[in-house]
């Protein structure tokens, strides 16, 4: 079974779907490479928007702990963290509308992936939380930096520092989720983007470039690199490795 799928819809939406339901769509290196492939495909003028979603009960459960728990030192972690941070940076800087369609639970790096999209819509009942703090680390794929660009600082910091998993309604109240939907993710995505897709691609690109210029002038890239560095340092702590071990021992 492929770890991801990439589908071009007739309405111009390119859909990237993480397809690892047996691991709640945890991100491994194949998923990272697939996301980068989808981002590059968006350079085609036929693509009007990019949607990111998952298969099964979860949107994305963050980094694949069964692989990444083998990364022990800061240096080892930094390689993986900076790879995905670089991909999420390219995702957020894509000069086309992007939407995370939360078909289910998003935790940890899954919330960082969702944050890198312009918009987030969630199926009623979906939950999401930046659980990294409970694992003895911070966000490490740029998601903390990006969230602080998306939400007012008090809201963003409470999501990050609380590390709680919140309901779709709570997330909508905070402003992390732009719309809660019932029914199928694809129909919800089409409905959310319907009016945007009617606009000329150059107009949409011009508006996104206003945002991109703001991020470039405020050194978002450098701030993400610093976030990666500080996560890598926390990564090698005994507290983090103990928490990851507890996740697997709880079975």
Binding residues for ligand LZKTLF4L, rule: CB under 6 A, are 23-24, 26, 57-58, 61-66, 68, 81, 105, 107-109, 131-132, 135, 140-141, 247, 251
Closer residue to ligand LZKTLF4L (CB): 57 or 124: 57
Q: Beta 49-54 vs 127-129: how paired, if at all? A: unpaired
CB of 82 to ligand LZKTLF4L, least distance (A): 11
Instruction: Give the shortest CB-222-to-ligand LZKTLF4L separation in angstroms.
Output: 18
- Separation CA 237–CA 231 (nearest Å): 10
Contact residues for 60 (Cβ-Cβ < 8 A; gap 6+): 18, 24, 25, 26, 27, 54, 106, 107, 109, 110, 113, 114
Residue 66 vs 209, nearer CB to ligand LZKTLF4L: 66
Sequence-separated (6 or more) residues with CB below 8 Å from residue 112: 62, 88, 130, 139, 141, 142, 143, 144, 146
User: Rounded distance, CA 41 to CA 99, Å?
Assistant: 16
Our CB check for ligand LZKTLF4L shows the closer of 64 and 172 to be 64
Q: In whole angstroms, give the CA distance from residue 125 to residue 168.
A: 6
Residue 46 or 57 with smaller CB distance to ligand LZKTLF4L: 57
We find the least distance from the C-beta atom of residue 62 to ligand LZKTLF4L, in angstroms, to be 2
Minimal distance, residue 83 CB to ligand LZKTLF4L, in Å: 11
Least distance from ligand LZKTLF4L to the Cβ atom of residue 147, Å: 13
């Amino acid at each position: 079974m492929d770890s991801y799928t990439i589908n071009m819809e007739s309405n111009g939406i390119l859909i990237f779907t993480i397809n690892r339901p047996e691991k709640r769509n945890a991100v491994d290196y194949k998923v990272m490479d697939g996301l980068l492939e989808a981002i590059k495909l968006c350079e085609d003028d036929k693509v009007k928007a990019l949607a990111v979603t998952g298969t099964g009960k979860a949107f994305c459960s963050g980094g694949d702990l069964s692989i990444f728990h083998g990364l022990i030192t800061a240096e080892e972690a930094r390689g993986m963290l900076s790879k995905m941070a670089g991909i999420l940076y390219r995702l957020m800087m894509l000069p086309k509308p992007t939407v995370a369609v939360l078909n289910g639970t998003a935790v940890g790096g899954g919330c960082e992936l969702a944050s890198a999209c312009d918009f987030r819509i969630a199926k009623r009942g979906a939950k999401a939380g930046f659980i990294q703090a409970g694992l003895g680390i911070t966000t490490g794929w740029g998601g903390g930096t990006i969230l602080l660009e998306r939400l007012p600082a008090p809201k963003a910091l409470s999501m990050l520092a609380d590390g709680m998993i919140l309901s779709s309604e709570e997330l909508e109240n905070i402003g992390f989720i732009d719309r809660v939907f019932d029914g199928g993710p694809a129909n919800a995505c089409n409905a959310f983007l319907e009016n945007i897709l009617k606009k000329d691609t150059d107009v949409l690109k011009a508006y996104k470039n206003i945002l991109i210029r703001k991020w470039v002038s405020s050194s978002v890239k450098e701030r993400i690199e610093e976030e990666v560095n500080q996560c890598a340092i926390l990564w090698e702590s005994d507290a983090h490795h103990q928490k990851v071990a507890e996740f697997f021992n709880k079975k």
